[in-house]
Chains A and B, each alone.
Chain A
Amino acid sequence: MTTLTQPGAGAAMATPDASVRPVLSVEDLRAYYVLDLFGVKREVRAVDDISIRIMPNEIYGIAGESSSGKTSLIKTIAGAIQPPLTVVGGKVHFDFRGKSIDLYSGAPADLDAIRWRHLSYIMQGSMNVLNPVRRVRQAFIDFAARHIAAPSRRAFEEVVVAHLDRLHLSPHVLDAYPHELSGGMRQRVTIALATVCKPEFIIADEPTTALDVVVQKRVLAMIREVQREIGSSLLFVTHDMSVHANLCDRLGIMYAGRLVEEGATSDLFASPKHPYTQHLISSLPRIGDRTPREGLKGTPPNLADPPPGCRFHPRCPMAMEVCRTVVPPFVTAGKGRRVACFAAEPETIPDGIANATRSIAA
């Protein structure tokens, strides 16, 4: 088993190199849950104006509390949205080796062509993605066989067994029903299932959430190993900051449907700029530190009716007059860093607002 490397090992990836083209570029993506109940229209802005670029061979983490729109964002990126979630604007562009695709302007057939082979998605609650009445072998055949151009069933099975072997899984799991495997085992089988076609881009939505820390470590090591081996990019979502610290090269912090800060994991942990990130990081327990952790008051806003201006301002200890009315732009702040906060980047405050910098914090 490989030991997890410390954050910073992949920091070189943090600076976008002009010569390397990003695998994924998301531009101003907006995806709302559009509800029309009894003639009353409601929009829940789960993904609002998000731009991300992910380089080849990079692990990008998305962090944020529950209901901050993480899962909606990656469902949109994976092209796995179903009504009422609809893309309102923006672009999702994948640039695979020899194949590029715009997700929300291309034909649906193109999307089917890249799924699994180029883009795979380890879903939330992925312990349950195996059909309880089908053997694991059948799951591989159902989900992956069409994407691997194997001449025969036997050849396909050899590919699967070789892949399982690479992930230190016994080929016996193929004959098991999902309920005969433990939770961690099922999780690893699911990851094997998602990576058997050696996709260039893997999306993982909270793959370790239901596992205890020991199994979690093993699963994370496995994800990392398979990512290295295939050389793919990984978009990793969890609310667990310590997992992010261990795994990710770069990190994006989401709050209420928007990205509020982005940067190399080590930089972000060393000097968080956005007050929300500061709270997230200071909430982590540290060995030897016995001071009580301070909680953040209030709850995340209702995304059907988000507060105007900065969405964090009602809970922000550094909120100013300007935060109430103006949405802070997501600007570059140092090497490989971006942040959306007037307090962190006072230059971005627009002119002509009275008492713009007067504090409103209670």
Chain B
Amino acid sequence: MRVVFDLLRTNIEFAIGMFLLAIVVIVSALSFVSPYEPDLIYVVFPDMPPSAEHIMGTTSRGQDTFWRLTFAMRNTLLFGLSVAILSRILSLLIGLVSGYLGGAVDRVLMSINDTFVVIPLFPILVLFYFVMRDSMSWVGLAIIMACLGWAYDARLIRSVTMSLRTREFTQQSVFSGMTTRQIVSQEHLPYVMPIVFSTTMNNMNWSIGLEVTLSVLGFTNINTPTIGTMIYWANQHTALVAGVWWWILFPVLMVVILFIGLFLLAVSMNEYIDPRSRLSRMKGAA
């Protein structure tokens, strides 16, 4: 907790990132008090510009843009988080085991890892959509993306663990009779956690970006409100041509805020992990 306050005080990127992320989280949280059901259409007058009653206007489908956006933001955020958490679990497991055990286990796991690194993601995801069609929920998509998104970070964690394996404290742990599971989970896991936090942000950016891309093109379940599907429906109703600019602008604005927020957090986390840049920035503040 103290770390967060120190960072807020000394690291401007972290402070801005936290602020932007807070906006996104508050908007998503507002979906719980929404006056409108998310799935209903034509509940308000369509195509109304922003006004006191509808602060972001209404869509051509007769939905309030702001309240629709709260649901979309919540789903997008949840999607990004679940992909990040699932893929973190995979990359931690594979990276730690591969790096610590080494030898044949390492070679096998890293061959699989490298296969996933070179797989072209976008065509695979489109292929999944065409195979699964309507049974493709956002949970299914999250699981598929998590299975595709762990490889880079597993390699990163593996390389850190390989260096930890040769440290004295690992040898001491082996000598004291700790099992492999204990060494990996008690000694090495805390060491790689900051790296995991930092990569979580990048991974969320990556997965949200891909989800938006897929949704805009209509390759996901378009009835689930997400930022991507909102833009998809806006395009379907030719919102820009019809002059309903607020239908496009606000979702794009929100996703840009989310991206910049996560990016700034990842950058400041990276800086925090590297003790040299941390020291030069904090100058004895911590």
Q: Which residues, 6 to 63 on B, are CB-close (under 8 Å) to A? A: none
Over the window 131-174 of chain B, the binary record of Cβ atoms lying under 8 Å from chain A Cβ atoms (1 yes, 0 no) is: 00000000000000000000000000000000000011101111
Knowing A78-B175, A80-B175, the reply to whether A142 touches B168 (Cβ < 8 A) is no
Q: Please give the distance in Å from A127's CB to the nearest CB on chain B.
A: 8
Assess the B169–A129 pair: CB atoms within 8 A.
yes
Knowing A132-B191, A133-B191, the reply to whether A142 touches B178 (Cβ < 8 A) is yes
Assess the A130–B169 pair: CB atoms within 8 A.
yes
Chain A residues near B123: list those with CB within 8 A: none
Q: Please give the distance in Å from B130's CB to the nearest CB on chain A.
A: 46
Q: Which residues, 122 to 149 on A, are CB-close (under 8 Å) to B? A: 123-126, 128-134, 139, 142-144, 146-147
Confirm or deny: A236 has a beta carbon within 8 angstroms of a beta carbon on chain B: no
Chain A residues near B187: list those with CB within 8 A: 131, 134, 142
Knowing A131-B191, A134-B190, A142-B187, the reply to whether A115 touches B176 (Cβ < 8 A) is yes
Confirm or deny: A121 has a beta carbon within 8 angstroms of a beta carbon on chain B: yes
Chain B residues near A131: list those with CB within 8 A: 169, 187, 190-191
In the complex, residue of chain A having the shortest beta-carbon distance to the beta carbon of B170: A131
Contact of A143 among B167, B172, B191, B193 (CB under 8 A): B172
Assess the B173–A146 pair: CB atoms within 8 A.
no
Over the window 51-87 of chain A, the binary record of Cβ atoms lying under 8 Å from chain B Cβ atoms (1 yes, 0 no) is: 0000000000000000000000000001010000000
Chain B residues near A112: list those with CB within 8 A: 177
Chain A residues near B191: list those with CB within 8 A: 131-133
Confirm or deny: B186 has a beta carbon within 8 angstroms of a beta carbon on chain A: yes
In the complex, residue of chain B having the shortest beta-carbon distance to the beta carbon of A138: B186
Contact of A128 among B168, B173, B177, B190 (CB under 8 A): B168
Chain B residues near A139: list those with CB within 8 A: 169
Q: Number of A residues contacting the other chain (C-beta, 8 Å)?
A: 23
Chain A residues near B176: list those with CB within 8 A: 115-116, 142-144, 146-147
Assess the B171–A115 pair: CB atoms within 8 A.
no
* Distance, CA A130 to CA B178, complexed state (A): 15
Query: Which one of A115, A134, A143, A147 has the greatest number of beta carbons of chain B within 10 Å?
Result: A143
* Distance, CA A147 to CA B168, complexed state (A): 20
**What number of residue pairs across chains A and B have CB atoms under 8 A from each other?**
55
Assess the B173–A143 pair: CB atoms within 8 A.
yes
Over the window 13-53 of chain A, the binary record of Cβ atoms lying under 8 Å from chain B Cβ atoms (1 yes, 0 no) is: 00000000000000000000000000000000000000000
Knowing A134-B187, A134-B190, A142-B187, the reply to whether A128 touches B169 (Cβ < 8 A) is yes
Assess the B171–A80 pair: CB atoms within 8 A.
yes
Assess the A129–B168 pair: CB atoms within 8 A.
yes
In the complex, residue of chain A having the shortest beta-carbon distance to the beta carbon of B172: A129
Q: Which residues, 171 to 204 on B, are CB-close (under 8 Å) to A? A: 171-178, 182, 186-187, 190-191, 193
Chain B residues near A121: list those with CB within 8 A: 175
Chain A residues near B167: list those with CB within 8 A: 128
* Distance, CA A112 to CA B191, complexed state (A): 26
* Distance, CA A147 to CA B177, complexed state (A): 9
In the complex, residue of chain B having the shortest beta-carbon distance to the beta carbon of A132: B191
Q: Which residues, 93 to 139 on A, are CB-close (under 8 Å) to B? A: 112, 115-116, 121, 123-126, 128-134, 139
In the complex, residue of chain B having the shortest beta-carbon distance to the beta carbon of A139: B169
Q: Please give the distance in Å from A59's CB to the nearest CB on chain B.
A: 21
Chain B residues near A133: list those with CB within 8 A: 190-191, 193
* Distance, CA A114 to CA B178, complexed state (A): 14
Q: Please give the distance in Å from A133's CB to the nearest CB on chain B.
A: 5
Chain B residues near A80: list those with CB within 8 A: 171, 174-175
Chain B residues near A129: list those with CB within 8 A: 168-169, 171-172
In the complex, residue of chain B having the shortest beta-carbon distance to the beta carbon of A119: B175
Over the window 310-347 of chain A, the binary record of Cβ atoms lying under 8 Å from chain B Cβ atoms (1 yes, 0 no) is: 00000000000000000000000000000000000000
Which B positions have Cβ atoms within 8 angstroms of A?
167-169, 171-178, 182, 186-187, 190-191, 193
A–B complex contacts, Cβ < 8 Å, 8 sampled:
A80-B174, A112-B177, A123-B168, A131-B187, A133-B191, A133-B193, A143-B172, A146-B176
Which A positions have Cβ atoms within 8 angstroms of B?
78, 80, 112, 115-116, 121, 123-126, 128-134, 139, 142-144, 146-147
- Sorted from nearest, which 9 A-B pairs have the closest CB atoms? A143-B176, A129-B172, A128-B168, A112-B177, A129-B168, A131-B169, A133-B190, A133-B191, A129-B169
